[in-house]
Amino acid sequence: MLKVWINGAGGQLGQALNDVIDNMEYEIFNSDISELDITDVDEVLSFGKINRPDIIINCAGFTDVDACEKDPKTAYRVNALGARNLSIVAGEIGAKMVQLSTDDVFDGRSDFPYKEFDFATPNTVYGKSKLAGECYVKEFTNKHFIIRSNWVYGKGTNFVRDFIELSKKQNSISIATDQYGSPTSANELARFILYIIKTNEYGTYHATCNGSCSRYAFAKEIMKLTGITVQINEVPSDEAHLTSIRPAYAVLDNFILEIENVYTFPRWEDALATYIKEMED
């Protein structure tokens, strides 16, 4: 039985991994900020050497984009040094390392979906700190999977749940029409991670549900699936509800997965329909 250490287990992806993983196949070690401070290298090394996982999955991160701008030191401690510390212990014990990253490593000025080989030029502190984390992972362990995704929703706070809750309180909601991405189910992303860790196909992957849309189109699809009748207004990002400073164009191309022809994500509309149904059941 392989040992898997899921750090950031209380987040959306950490919970999704615990929901979809086969407990007969893996022994799980869960940790979150209350159990382990990933910015403390000695604490991380101690945990890793005592439990000796075969796979380390780092789902943890300081992900509040606006908060990162106000507190860059914390952003770099968690997103960069935390990834460094986990990859150091992965290298020392020979574990595979999975580092979750983001579309924010790109500047959002492209007219075409970003491939894994496109040059990363982040504009935000969040994006810069996550890119620094990627670099540390590459530096300290060869057996790594860097997985970039975007617009992830699952259990906890996310655009889907926030939109539904806001629709209960307001008659109209303003949604950005100038932000584009690929809404991605945390469960679908977790299933991909559980697939890729069984391989030795190390490297950087873009991993999102297929297709893309604007925030406005995303909201319209949520309305269609839930029966919500709130009025939504098309506005630019700086006038929108539920929107932080993000790259305007955040669409990732799952290029490596396509050329390897080994794994296919569902359409974002289908994954969203499944998610909404599970919320309602």
Strand order in the sheet with 96-102: 26-31, 2-7, 55-58, 96-102, 144-149, 203-206
Of the pLDDT bands very low, low, confident and very high (cuts 50, 70, 90), residue 205 is very high
Residue 84 has pLDDT above 90, yes or no: yes
Average pLDDT along the chain: 95
d(CA 145, CA 194) in angstroms, rounded, equals 12
Tokens of 127: 């994006």
State whether the Cα torsion 41-46-51-53 is positive or negative: positive
Identify the pLDDT of residue 118. Answer: 97
Q: What pLDDT score does 280 carry?
A: 81
Domains of the chain: 2-158+181-212+249-266 (3.40.50.720)
User: What's the pLDDT at 247?
Assistant: 79
The pLDDT confidence band at residue 251, using thresholds 50, 70 and 90, is very high
Q: What is the pLDDT of residue 244?
A: 72
Query: Where does the chain have alpha helices with state H?
Result: 12-20, 41-51, 65-70, 72-76, 82-93, 125-140, 159-167, 186-196, 215-226, 255-260, 268-280
Secondary structure letter of residue 157 according to DSSP: S
- pLDDT tens figures, 38-74: 999 999 999 999 999 999 999 999 999 999 999 999 9
3-state secondary structure of 256: helix
Q: What is the DSSP string of 39-75?
A: T-HHHHHHHHHHH--SEEEE------HHHHHH-HHHH
> pLDDT band at residue 104, thresholds of 50, 70 and 90?
very high
Task: State yes or no: is 205 an active-site residue.
Answer: no
What DSSP state is assigned to residue 18? H
pLDDT at 146: 98
Q: Is the whole-model pTM more than 0.85?
A: yes
From 26, 76, 114, 126, the catalytic residue: 126
Residue 242 confidence (pLDDT) above 90: no
Confidence class of residue 245 from pLDDT cuts 50, 70 and 90?
low
